[in-house]
Chains A and B, each alone.
Chain A
Amino acid sequence: MAKVELRNVYKSYGTTEIIHGVSMDIADGEFVVMVGPSGCGKSTLLRMIAGLEEISGGDIAIDGRVVNNLEPKDRDIAMVFQQYALYPHMSVHDNMAYGLKIRGLPKAEIETRVQRAAEILELSKLLGRRPRELSGGQRQRVAMGRAIVREPKVFLFDEPLSNLDAKLRVQMRAELQALHKRLGTTTVFVTHDQVEAMTLAQRMMVMNAGHAEQIGAPLEVYGRPASTFVAGFIGSPPMNLIPGTLAEGGAVLLADAGARVGLPAALPKFDGRKLLLGVRPEHLEPCDEAAALLVPDVDFIELLGSDVLVYGHLGADRKGARVAARLHGSMAASDGHLALRFTPKHMHLFDAETGKRIEIE
């Protein structure tokens, strides 16, 4: 087990820079998730930790040792790939034993480790099979087994669950968490799925276009998104972002198409400032028209069983900002207008120019 440090890491291909200085300290035994849309550089960053991509600038240290110029095999890491990358011509047993044989472990030791990993992952009955005779979930487990037997300092996961169906993904998520609890190995996990990130991470790094937009615990990132990108990426449906100008002593946001959105508490110090008002769909609640802060016209409704998702537009002729609300039960079954309110602690403000969070206090 070890800590992993990224110090101002850059990556460029030729003249194209794709990772623009990312820093993060990952503590010993921590489960960190790097999340972001495809092409944001998260997989590249992971591959740089693994040693599969060269580091163009900055340092990566594992267990206090800078590994920039070390081969993958000398970094004491194990990686699980999205496509599993199992050796097709070897049995499950040999797939797991391969790395140990190369490292010259005694035969008895290899057997013990493989058997133990197979037991943890419920693969004991499948040890003699070839990868092509396994289901997706079983292959995934073999890939994990191959990482476990090595007992490395760091586990690296590159979107390992994205090839599984929804049900299996939830199950594997739970298994991964249990596994981390049991082994306590430092883990870096890459995914584009914010639900995976929220549920698995002790801390997460939200990446966008080669930058680390925000690093923090999942609830911290959810509760205080550092930018409009994070606000839009984490949470489903994403946070409502309503652009406009604060007026009337900071009590009202004048939005596009003549829409007015009231603030639950006036902010005189931001009066006249252009910004984006953010409220999560799940923090909007229906109320009387008199108490309403915003009254969107309803476009359509999605019934999820436990919840109702209401989508609408603000302003005249539905030309203003889009608003989504997640309401409980059948409250919003009516069409037409919907009067909504929210509380001050659920209000987020972002700078209209930079998209960065504006602290209210």
Chain B
Amino acid sequence: MAMEKRVVFRSAWLPYALVAPQLAITIVFFFWPAAQAVWFSFQLQDAFGMHSEFVGLENFAALFRDPHYLQSFKTTAVFSLLVAGCGISLSLLLATMADRVIRGALAYKTILIWPYAVAAAVAGVLWSFLFAPSIGIVTYVLKGFGVDWNWIIKGDQAMLLVVIASVWKQISYNFLFFLAGLQAIPKTLIEAAAIDGAGPARRFWTIVLPLLSPTAFFLLVVNIVYAFFDTFGVIDATTQGGPAQATQILVYKVYHDGVKSADIGGSSAQSVILMVLVIGLTAIQFRYIERKVQY
């Protein structure tokens, strides 16, 4: 007789009671606002919130006519590719090096994991101090090299700053996954490759990297989602989308248009678009993890 692996409740109501708190939180804080956002995205409100009128897809149509919105899309794409790209390659480099360390490995790993515990806003403030145009220490050093550093005026420098802060924040997470991935590769594989004549670099490119690719793909999706949404704190604490919207990614524009400009309808329409994007990304991620190749 096959053993039933799942726990089976005899009571009819107990299982529902047990999941009720989680369901309540999900409904109140996720489904309700999401439903409201969808509803508002079809409405046009006056500036004081006294009156609203149903306008169908007009908010969406307006968005795609708005060059600022399309620009924000482009900014987001550049930003998330930079964050994911730099974050993944840097953490892979760090993980590869940490994997070789024998003495003091634990201390090394612990220090690398610390940034993950730092709040996004704190990370933002930290980096904006370091790079502050007038008092930042990095600015001072850069000036010594003849670099004119002022992210408050220069858009690409502002972008660089938020990318650095966001990457720094996310590196720990990537690092942990890569390290676990590296340690899951049997040592005999590397030894077999060494006997087959492959040097360290060749072993990395032909054996280690292919075996890490499932991890890398997973991290790519996670990092893009991170860059899309979780970097709000970093941007709000540093550039606030500026200068001249150079760092205004989609999620920041939602906040800016909705809260600061009180355009509830347009902001909600942007939220709905973001929701569709994140649903797509999550679907890719789940689909991939389910089919993840087991070596």
Contact = CB atoms under 8 A, between A and B. Distances in A.
B191 interface: yes
Contacts of A81: 188, 191-192
Interface in B183-206: 186, 188-189, 191-199, 202, 206
A87 B194 contact: no
Nearest to B203: A102
A157 B7 CA distance: 47
A87 B189 contact: yes
Nearest to A158: B188
Given A85-B186, A87-B207, A102-B202, A71 B196 contact: no
A85 B188 contact: yes
Interface in A39-57: 50-52
Nearest to B196: A99
Contacts of B188: 81-83, 85
Given A87-B207, A88-B295, A89-B211, A72 B194 contact: yes
B150 to A, nearest CB: 48
Given A85-B188, A89-B211, A77 B196 contact: no
Contact of A146 (B196, B206, B210, B211): B196
A85 B192 contact: yes
B195 A78 contact: yes
Given A85-B188, A89-B210, A132-B295, A73 B202 contact: no
Given A88-B295, A102-B202, A50 B207 contact: no
A124 to B, nearest CB: 22
A88 B192 CA distance: 12
Contacts of B197: 73, 99, 102-103
A52 to B, nearest CB: 5
B198 A73 contact: yes
A13 B207 CA distance: 29
A141 to B, nearest CB: 15
B100 to A, nearest CB: 16
Contacts of B195: 50-52, 72-73, 77-79, 99
B199 to A, nearest CB: 8
A82 B295 CA distance: 17
Contacts of B194: 51-52, 71-73
B211 A88 contact: yes
A311 interface: no
A270 interface: no
Interface core residue of A50, A88, A99 (most chain B CB under 10 Å): A88
A85 B191 contact: yes
Nearest to A103: B197
B189 A85 contact: yes
A98 interface: yes
Interface string A124-144: 000000001000000000000
Contacts of B295: 88-89, 132
Nearest to B191: A52
A167 to B, nearest CB: 25
A87 B210 CA distance: 10
A71 B194 CA distance: 8
Contacts of A98: 193, 196, 198, 206
**Shortest 4 CB-CB contacts between residues of A and residues of B:** A99-B196, A88-B295, A85-B188, A73-B197
13 contacts: A50-B191, A52-B191, A72-B191, A73-B194, A73-B198, A73-B199, A83-B186, A85-B189, A88-B189, A89-B211, A98-B193, A98-B206, A103-B197
Interface of B: 186, 188-189, 191-199, 202, 206-207, 210-211, 294-295
Given A71-B194, A72-B191, A73-B195, 16 more contacts: A50-B195, A51-B194, A52-B194, A79-B192, A79-B195, A81-B191, A83-B186, A85-B186, A86-B192, A88-B295, A89-B210, A98-B193, A98-B198, A99-B196, A102-B197, A146-B196
